[in-house]
Amino acid sequence: MVSFSSLEFIFRFLPIFLIAYFVTPVKYRDLILLAGSLVFYAVGEPVFIFVLILTTLVNYFLGRKAWTLGEGFMVQDWQNKKRKRLVVAAIIFDVLVLVVFKGLAVFADSSFLPLGISFYIFKMISFQADLLRREIWSAPKFRNVALYFTMFPQVTSGPIMRYNEGGFGWEKSGCLEQFEDGLKYFILGLGMKVLLADRLAILWNDLQMIGFQSISTALAWFGAAGYSLRLYFDFWGYSLMASGLMVMLGYDFIENFHHPYGAKSIADFYRRWHITLGSWFKDYVYIPMGGSRCRKGRLVLNLALVWLLTGIWHGNGFNFVIWGVILGFFIILEKLFYGKALQRIPVIGNLYVLLLIPLTWVIFAITDLKQLGIYFGRLFPFIGGAGIAVNSQDIIRYAGNYWIYFAAGILLCIPAVSKFYKKHKKNPIIILLLVFIFWLSIYHLSISAGNPFMYLKF
């Protein structure tokens, strides 16, 4: 049930929850959302629900004590020092919990990694840091803090909302129009996941089954582009579904993607991709280390550390470290040398992104370094030495099978399409199209085993 694109979630959990939520008086709805979120997580993780509860309790009590010490205008030095020690202790606890479970997943078994732990731990760290900075303006109540950490639309894969963005403590009455907007976001995300990402996933699975040593160079590039689109629509689809659910419940929409394939540099790409994660690293890691307002040597170190941590956060394999280091390398080059030139010549910047990003996603996708080397040998046969492909005409068959998904994916990457939808989303034809997308997605879910969102693994 932890996947929003499962029939159990869409036709069992969600209707029951929504009925309970909206028949409950407004001032008690946050309690229904808290209870529903705990049930949602417990069904998917019946053991690790206790990790979520324990970390929630520890962060609340330490955070509440820190808030109490910082109340008022006449705060003594000893109170500030104790307050800082409490917040630091909470952050160290959160980091240790994440490191321990990540370590168990790497060195023991991947099943030891609780679902969504990276996302809810990052929320907890941001909560503590915002308390220390006095960016939380009202005394945190237990049910508000617990809801912020556990709310089911975000607990497994984000977006990483800040505590103040949730308007906790304010009644979420909502309205029919807002519910309708949220439902539309949910359907769009469902369609991206089921009708695009899951179809493109078959292409990548086929290449793995064939063996990378047997595919042609043309198919290798086709596969890299397909994986790039698959990852984008899988995670963008999830983010739209999660944010759509939040809007349905009376919360604000959180944008997590903003046309990243229209970016003009790698740095610009990651300002548009997984926006809440990027802003988290910026606000709680990069800026505290000094950000970009420092000498060049320190700037390089800051960027390198941020992207090394980003790579480690994303996965357990050494390929994720390589992925993060390479992205950091290019972003450092842009910052020091040619970033402004890419902005001045948009076409060059776009081509640069469209060439490099799929190559980095290949590194992201292939955890076996030997297989990764073979794939790059196929991408660049003149330097790879990977041998001759078994079928040099394989691209014809795969392009014939998947061109429609590529065409749809490329179309949805164009900002004008999104603007057109926003302008005409109340048009009856658009509404009928959304109804068609929903039931076509349900049909595909009913005849397949389902494919969980890729970011549920983090």
The per-residue pLDDT for 392 is 75
- For residue 429, pLDDT beyond 80: yes
In the chain, pLDDT over 70 holds for what percent of residues? 95
Helix 394-412 crosses helix 415-424 at what angle (to 10 degrees)?
Answer: 50
Chain segment 180-195, per-residue pLDDT in tens:
999 999 999 999 999 9
Give the DSSP H/E element, type plus range, for residue 396: helix 394-412
Between CA 55 and CA 51 the distance in angstroms is: 6
Answer for the pair 405, 199: CB distance below 8 angstroms, yes or no.
yes
| Cα dihedral sign, 356-360-362-368 | positive
Please report which confidence band the pLDDT of residue 449 belongs to, taking 50, 70 and 90 as the band edges: low
Chain segment 219-278, per-residue pLDDT in tens:
999 999 999 999 999 999 999 999 999 999 999 999 999 999 999 999 999 999 999 999
Chain segment 373-423, per-residue pLDDT in tens:
999 999 998 875 555 566 778 999 999 999 999 999 999 999 999 999 999
Chain segment 197-217, per-residue pLDDT in tens:
999 999 999 999 999 989 999
Instruction: Give the HSE-up count for residue 87: Cα atoms under 13 Å, Cβ half-sphere.
Output: 21
In the chain, pLDDT over 90 holds for what percent of residues? 82
The number of angstroms, rounded, from the C-alpha of 308 to the middle of its chain's C-alpha atoms is 18
What does the pLDDT average to over 171-178? 81
CB atoms within 10 A of CB 85: 13
Cis peptide bond upstream of 159, omega within 30: yes
Please report which confidence band the pLDDT of residue 294 belongs to, taking 50, 70 and 90 as the band edges: confident
Answer for the pair 116, 456: CB distance below 8 angstroms, yes or no.
yes
Chain segment 13-52, per-residue pLDDT in tens:
999 999 999 999 999 999 999 999 999 999 999 999 999 9
Between CA 37 and CA 56 the distance in angstroms is: 13
Burial class (CB in 10 A: 0-12, 13-18, 19+), 241: buried
Chain segment 11-24, per-residue pLDDT in tens:
999 999 999 999 99
The residue length of the chain stands at 458
Between CA 154 and CA 104 the distance in angstroms is: 24
- What 3-state class would DSSP assign to 259? coil
The per-residue pLDDT for 41 is 96
Between CA 424 and CA 431 the distance in angstroms is: 9
Helix 117-132 crosses helix 142-150 at what angle (to 10 degrees)?
Answer: 140
The per-residue pLDDT for 179 is 95
Q: Letter for the amino acid at 36?
A: G
Please report which confidence band the pLDDT of residue 452 belongs to, taking 50, 70 and 90 as the band edges: low
Q: What is the mean pLDDT of the chain?
A: 92
Helix 198-210 crosses helix 217-248 at what angle (to 10 degrees)?
Answer: 150
* 186, 198, 220, 225, 361 from 327: Cα distances, Å: 31, 26, 21, 18, 10
**Quick one: DSSP state of residue 261?**
G
Between CA 254 and CA 161 the distance in angstroms is: 8
Answer for the pair 337, 313: CB distance below 8 angstroms, yes or no.
no
For residue 274, which of 450, 119, 114 has the smallest C-alpha distance? Answer: 119
pLDDT winner (highest mean) among 89-98, 102-111, 375-384: 89-98
What does the pLDDT average to over 421-433? 94
128: Cβ–Cβ under 8 A, 6 or more apart, which residues?
A: 59, 62, 63, 66, 87, 90, 91, 94
- For residue 155, pLDDT beyond 60: yes
Between CA 171 and CA 225 the distance in angstroms is: 45
**Residue carrying the six token digits 């990651």:** 270
- Alpha helices in 249-345, H assignment, sequence order: 266-272, 275-281, 296-314, 318-333, 339-344
The per-residue pLDDT for 368 is 94
- For residue 332, pLDDT beyond 80: yes
Residues noted as catalytic: 314
Tokens of 64: 């509440």
- For residue 78, pLDDT beyond 60: yes
Between CA 127 and CA 145 the distance in angstroms is: 9
- For residue 77, pLDDT beyond 90: no
Phi, psi of 316 (to 5 degrees): -95, -15
Tokens of 108: 């023991």
Where in the chain are the domains? 7-173, 178-457
* 341, 352, 401, 403 from 378: Cα distances, Å: 31, 20, 21, 21
Tokens of 297: 């040597």
| Cα dihedral sign, 287-292-294-296 | positive
* 139, 148, 173 from 142: Cα distances, Å: 10, 10, 21
